[in-house]
Each structure stands twice: as structure tokens, then as C-alpha cells.
Amino acid sequence: MATEEFIIRIPPYHYIHVLDQNSNVSRVEVGPKTYIRQDNERVLFAPMRMVTVPPRHYCTVANPVSRDAQGLVLFDVTGQVRLRHADLEIRLAQDPFPLYPGEVLEK
């Protein structure tokens, strides 16, 4: 469900996905932030809470993002995140993290 509001308040530990309709590229905006939507952008959903994995637990993420040696997310030439399709990543207890466009939380 896309939201048509121009000003979106993103609370702490929440995130949104923004689709640029000119380049057809989705990106993540992380709170706390007041995000002002441009005319060529569409917010794909209302602010969602980041994924929190408690101590001694894990979660499985399908189609995880690709990261470099320093752990930074890799982007292609258009600015879209690079995904490892048909791959699973097990994430252990860590700081809360957003799901990038294309990632799916399985368990």
C-alpha cells in the first residue's frame, strides 16, 4: 500500500522504501527523519519497524544484499542495491536493521 503524503515522519528504528519513478529504482530511508517526498517518488509503505534479533536467536533473510569486504552494501550503476538472488543469509543477534528492497524475512 503506497502512501501519498508529501511529508512522512520516520520514527527511530523504523524505515520506508521509496521508489523513484523516473529511474524505477527503490531505496531505503532510515529514521529518525522527516522525509519530504518529491513529485517523481512514491513511498511504497508506511514506516515499518526495523528487524530486531534478540540475543541467542537468529533470523533467515532470503535474497540478501551483497556486501563488500568492509561490510558496506553494494549498489549497481543505477543505484539499486545488488541482491544475491536464491541465497539465504542467517543473521544473528545484532543492531536493528532494515530490509532492503528485494530482501525477504523468512523466519
Interval 8-28: pLDDT, tens: 999 999 999 999 999 999 999
For residue 1, pLDDT over 60 is answered with: no
| Domains of the chain in sequence order | 7-49 (2.30.30.570), 51-105 (2.30.30.560)
Indicate the pTM of the whole model: 0.90
Interval 56-86: pLDDT, tens: 999 999 999 999 999 999 999 999 999 999 9
For residue 3, pLDDT over 70 is answered with: no
Q: State which H helix or E strand residue 54 sits in.
A: strand 51-62
Parallel, antiparallel, or unpaired: how do β-strands 14-20 and 41-43 relate?
A: antiparallel
First to last CA, the chain: 23
For residue 33, pLDDT over 70 is answered with: yes
* CA distances, 65 to each of 4, 14, 48, 86 (Å): 28, 19, 19, 11
